[in-house]
A and B are shown apart, each in its own frame.
Chain A
Amino acid sequence: MPEMAETPEFLERLRRRDGEACRRMIVELGPELEGYALHLLGDPQQVDDLVQETLIAALESLPKFDGRSRLRTWLFSILHHKAYDRIRQVQRHRAREISLEAADPLAESFDESGHFRVQPEDHRPDPEQLFESDELRQRLTQAVGDLPARNREAFLLRDVHGMEIEDAAGVMEIKASHFRVLLHRARVMLRKLLNSERDPS
């Protein structure tokens, strides 16, 4: 899908909430927001509501959109806030706290001189060589769902939606250095999860 041109004229029309400009924003960015919501929450039943709430909140706030971030980043930020309200609610109903962030998945992998102790299980062939695309989508969806929430979100924003690191850190309201750690651990864990799914032995 071609990137929507965020020209000053288009943004001005959005701020005036011109119907045609708003319609275009929803048609072009709605599917991506939905993809992000789906994998962030992992619950298809909540997705339509969340995307709709996000779009309604955006339509209400458009006159205040200052254009300092891109429109797409701004919409992702609104969805992030709404999704975390839900994630926190789910947390409150659990018997025990689950971690939102992963520890270093490779922490135990090195000897004293910093060399890999054994060949780690995730150093095997590439996912794209191993899966047909439907199967890849399914396995990746499952593995992404198994990540702690904040690592999952970092991976979604950067690798799935291709956002710049500074923008993605802005959506999560964290420093870029913290974002990089979350992203790195997500990638390492996904490699492991994909391999263990493929090879249960």
Chain B
Amino acid sequence: MMSCKEVAALSSQYLDQELPLLRRLSLQLHLMACRTCRGLVRGMRSLSRVSSVLRTRAGRCYDDLAAKLTEDLEKDQRN
């Protein structure tokens, strides 16, 4: 059976669905038997899920900057 060390090393690839079938099954078998590794994988999955809160800064709008930059661009193109 896979060791905790191997599971920890492969946990990100497991979450990113990048492990080949046999390794995935072997890792899942370990998870069924090991509470500690289950906690690690669950914690990392949850972290990935909540991370998108950082995607944008709240309440920002780019309409003004877009208008300014494209206006400059059009001026450039006319010259």
Question: Does B associate with A?
Answer: yes
Q: Which residues of B contact A (CB under 8 A)?
A: 3-6, 8-9, 11-13, 16, 18, 36-37, 39-40, 42-44, 46-57, 60-63, 65-67, 69-70, 73-74, 77
Interface-lining segment among A71-79, A85-93, A160-168: A160-168
* B3 lies within 8 A of A115 (CB): yes
Interface size bracket, A side: 35 or more
Q: Tell me the complex Cα distance, A59–B36, Å.
A: 50
Q: Mark A170-201, 1 if CB is under 8 A from B, else 0.
A: 00000000001001100110110010000000
Q: Tell me the complex Cα distance, A22–B56, Å.
A: 20
Q: Tell me the complex Cα distance, A122–B74, Å.
A: 54
Closest A residue to B2 by beta carbon equals A114
* B62 lies within 8 A of A127 (CB): no
Contact residues of B: prevailing secondary structure: helix
Q: Which residues of A contact B (CB under 8 A)?
A: 17, 19, 22-24, 26-27, 30-32, 34-35, 38-39, 52, 55-56, 59, 106, 109-110, 113-116, 119-120, 122-129, 133, 136-137, 140-141, 144, 155-156, 158-162, 165, 180, 183-184, 187-188, 190-191, 194
